[in-house]
Amino acid sequence: MNKLTNQILSGAVVTLLLVCAHNASAEKIWNWRYTSGSVVARGTLTTAETADAQGFYPILSIAGHRNGERITGLHPTGKSIPGNEPFTLDNLIRIDAQGQITPHGFGFTTASGGYANTFYAEFLATPVYMEVFITPVNYSELPIKFSATPVTEPEIQLDAPVGGSEKMDD
C-alpha cells in the first residue's frame, strides 16, 4: 500500500475510535465540593449526559473524600441512608447557582461505614445546602457551602497529514 492510502486509513480508524468512545460513554463528569467548619468533602460525580425536563441530571456514580476519608460509593436512588429514614434520595444534580441539588439530595458511603445525605433545604425560611452525616455512634446535620461544575471535554482536532497536498506514493 502506498503512504497516502495508509494515512487515509489511519485517519479513518482514529476518527472511528473517537466517535465510538464518545458515544459509548454518554456521561458527564462533574467536580463537586462542600465545606462547613471542620467538614471538607470533594470529588467527582458521573451523571447521565442528558438532563430531565427540570434540568436535573441523574447521578450515576461518585468518587472522592470526606475529611480525608475515601468515599466508597453512591447510595441507591429511592433509598434513605441508614438512620435518616424516611428521607429518600433522588441523586439528581443540575447546573444552577442555587438549588443544584434537590431537597432529597444525593447520598454516599465512606470507607469507615459513615453515610452522608447532601441536600438543598429550600423549605427553610432562608434556603441552604445541608449535610446529614451518620456513623454508628454519631449523627450530625450541618449547613454547608456546596458547588458542582461539569467538566468540559477538550475538543479533539485531527490535523491534516504534513505535506498532504504533495504526492505520497513511492
pLDDT in tens, 118-165: 999 999 999 999 999 999 999 999 999 999 999 987 666 666 656 555
| Torsion angles phi and psi, residue 169, rounded to 5 | -90, 150
Burial (CB count within 10 angstroms: exposed 0-12, middle 13-18, buried 19+), residue 108: buried
> 163-168, long-range: CB within 8 Å, 24+ apart, which pairs?
164/7, 167/4, 168/2, 168/3, 168/4, 168/7
Q: What is the pLDDT of residue 153?
A: 74
- Sign for the CA dihedral angle at 14, 9, 169, 2 comes to positive
Distance of alpha carbon 50 from alpha carbon 116, whole angstroms: 26
What are the grid coordinates assigned to 31, written together?
467536580
Give me the pLDDT at residue 112, please: 96
Give tens-digit pLDDT for 76-133: 999 999 999 999 999 999 998 789 999 999 999 999 999 999 999 999 999 999 999 9
**Rounded distance, CA 160 to CA 30, Å?**
33
Q: How far apart are CA 122 and CA 114, in angstroms?
A: 25
Q: What is the pTM of this model?
A: 0.76
Q: What is the CA radius of gyration of the chain?
A: 22
Place of cell 441536600: 119
> If DSSP codes are grouped into helix, strand and coil, which group holds residue 14?
helix
